[in-house]
Chains A and B, each alone.
With several copies, the nearest count.
Chain A
Amino acid sequence: MENKRNFLAGLYASMYKIRRFEQEAVKLFHNKELPGWLHSYIGEEAVAVGVCASLNRDDYITSTHRGHGHCIAKGADLKRMMAELYGKETGYCKGKGGSMHIADFSIGILGANGIVGGGIPIATGTALASQYLEDGRVTVCFFGDGASNQGGFHESLNLASLWKLPVVYVCENNLYAETTPQADHQPIRDIADRAKSYNMPGVIIDGNDVLAVYEETNKAVERARAGRGPTLVECKTYRYRGHWEGDPEVYRTKEEVKEWKKRDPLKKFKKYLLENDIIQSKEISFVEKKIEDEIKDAVKYAQASPPPRPESALEDLYVEQGG
């Protein structure tokens, strides 16, 4: 019981952490403190958190241009993430990657990716390695509705199912690929239907319901871990902010956004926790407060960190070998 309580509280904390990290990043971005671009995950938190709740520390994930949520849910360090957004030496990639290329290989985060769909073959490959090495790990591959039209999606799912690889393909269908509504980029509504092309199970989930996401993907993860092959999981969700910060959002109405906000994954889950007496309001405030502090610390850390040495731009390209 206590275990379950902690587990659920953890889900909430993780979602809240993503929400606040993203809000902070957005603020800093518009303050012109962050170089580069920013794709916010706000509104989609239940997907990353629900999915990663099934994963072990050494399981793998591949992420996307909209990757902060995946990283936080998988356990990435906020300080090093924020430092990377600032392009500082202390960032995950020493300032070389930025928002679109955060990775933490020590906990299986194989990297965000600037190429839409670029991580799908890679996830297939780490799953191949796990099967080969019999290391019991599972790979989760995150990607968007837009990415499901890439050739690499098709080739990868075919290969993974053929070889029964331990990978779960999680499609975050937020109804848009950049400015293009789903109906203008594919002639289907349920991307999970594409699973049939590869003779693998396809599952549709309410991506704003963290428990539903957890329960369904957990089955897929266990299936993969048991050697029964990949699953395509589609989480229907929505992003609140523009595709990137600065997006004029000409392609959707304020009403639509408002409508989706009514189904906010955080509010919904908080209500559930409170109404079922799983957690007290005071405790939630306490958790939230702790996260606020953590984020402040992360920002301070990032700001105080030195920029990379210019010459470090020439490092890290090749592994230096003996012999």
Chain B
Amino acid sequence: MREITFREAIREALDEALRSDAKVFLMGEDIGPLGGAFTVTKGLFDKYGRKRVRNTPISEVAIVGAATGAAMAGLRPITEIMFCDFLPLAGDQIINQAAKMRYMFGGQVKVPLTIRTILGAGLSAAAHHSQSNEALFMHTPGLKLVIPSTPYDAKGLLKTAILDDNPVIYFEHRCLYDSKGPVPENSYSISFGRADVKKEGRDVTLIATAEMVIKSLSVAEELEQEGISVEVIDPRTLNPLDMETIYESVKKTGRVLIVHEAVLTCGPGAEIAARISEEAFDYLDAPVKRLATKDVPIPMAPVLEDFVIPQKEDIKIAIKSLRNF
């Protein structure tokens, strides 16, 4: 199969959606000629024009709110929020309006809105351009949350997000944009709520998201040499969250490590750990371990950033300590 980058995979999904459905349009800051801060939408402005690919003012409330309104009126807006760090500016429109609208109104309305946003650290961009705040939205019923780790998943899940009649937040890890992977030429989509076992294993279940999947896989391969067999599971969507696949794995391994780049406290791992501990209690041979970004804002200096973000070495140590529990 041909290999393309994570960035290209997303762009293809957008391109296909724009081509096949006139109700799909993009809006966001600097997504036009530049193609967004990470050039994901590059070329689409030239191809589809100003109506379909809309540069906006710096107005996160209006961007998300207007996209919500447009979705209510039958369009399928895809908005880009340049960094997920800026989502709190639109907190009300996301949390109180888009997410709750259908429910509050007794099911009268659909909000087929996709919010694409960029998360993750690793570029020394400091506290306002490095967060992974997906957990804020996991705690908000009414939203669906996508967090892909490979080009294949990125494309297939974005297609589903755009077709979904509910508001979806789609998180793209900036450090993955240049990563390459096989992506079929023909159109396909991936259902929400299906975790993917990225690598099978017997000894430890490792649940990871976004770039941590890549780091985890690399560690898992290294450990394979040392005779430790790690199963790596990528939930891919945090809401819906496929716990079944996780429970199946836990029944097999009895040991679980969760790794994410969101900060530890009340992060996605807290929920996953709590559920495993409740539902798979009898299968656990060791306490569920979490490895996450330390509970601080993201610092700028590389040495500090590396210290707070889980590194491959940290993952390795955590797996070994679990193994020896």
Direct contact between A and B judged by beta carbons closer than 8 A: yes
Interface residues of A (CB under 8 A from B): 35-37, 60, 87-88, 91-98, 100-101, 103-105, 110-111, 113-118, 120-130, 132-133, 139, 146-147, 149-152, 155-156, 158-159, 162, 177-180, 184-186, 248, 250-251, 307-308, 310-319, 321, 323
Contacts of A110 in B (CB 8 A): 69, 72, 109
**Interface residue tally of chain B, by bracket?**
35 or more
Q: Give the CA-CA distance A180 to B144 in the complex, in Å.
A: 31
Ranked nearest first, the 9 interchain pairs of A and B with the lowest CB-CB distance are A125-B69, A121-B65, A114-B128, A87-B301, A98-B300, A95-B301, A129-B73, A316-B107, A93-B106
Q: Which of B92-100, B196-204, B253-261 makes up part of the contact surface?
A: B92-100
Q: Give the CA-CA distance A147 to B124 in the complex, in Å.
A: 23
Q: Give the CA-CA distance A318 to B240 in the complex, in Å.
A: 11
Q: State whether B33 touches A308 (Cβ < 8 A).
A: no
Q: State whether B73 touches A60 (Cβ < 8 A).
A: yes
Q: State whether A115 touches B72 (Cβ < 8 A).
A: no
Contact indicator per residue, chain B 271-314, by CB within 8 Å of chain A (1) or not (0): 00000000000000000000000111101111111111000000
Is B49 on the interface with A (CB-CB < 8 A)?
Answer: no
The chain B residue with its CB closest to the CB of A167 is B69
Q: Give the CA-CA distance A60 to B70 in the complex, in Å.
A: 12
* Beta-carbon contacts under 8 Å, B178-225 to A: 189, 191
The chain B residue with its CB closest to the CB of A307 is B303
Instruction: Tell which of A121, A147, A151, A308 touches B69, judged by Cβ atoms closer than 8 Å.
Output: A121
CB distance from A86 to the nearest CB of B (A): 8
Is B108 on the interface with A (CB-CB < 8 A)?
Answer: yes
CB distance from B214 to the nearest CB of A (A): 21
Q: State whether B66 touches A96 (Cβ < 8 A).
A: no
Q: State whether B126 touches A96 (Cβ < 8 A).
A: yes
* Beta-carbon contacts under 8 Å, B69-110 to A: 69-75, 77, 85-86, 89, 92-93, 96-97, 101-110
CB distance from A194 to the nearest CB of B (A): 13
Q: State whether B165 touches A151 (Cβ < 8 A).
A: no
Q: State whether B73 touches A103 (Cβ < 8 A).
A: no
Q: Give the CA-CA distance A321 to B61 in the complex, in Å.
A: 28
Q: Give the CA-CA distance A35 to B86 in the complex, in Å.
A: 22
Q: State whether B107 touches A159 (Cβ < 8 A).
A: no
Assess A36 versus B123: contact at CB under 8 Å? Given A96-B106, A133-B75, A317-B103. Answer: yes
Q: Give the CA-CA distance A155 to B66 in the complex, in Å.
A: 10
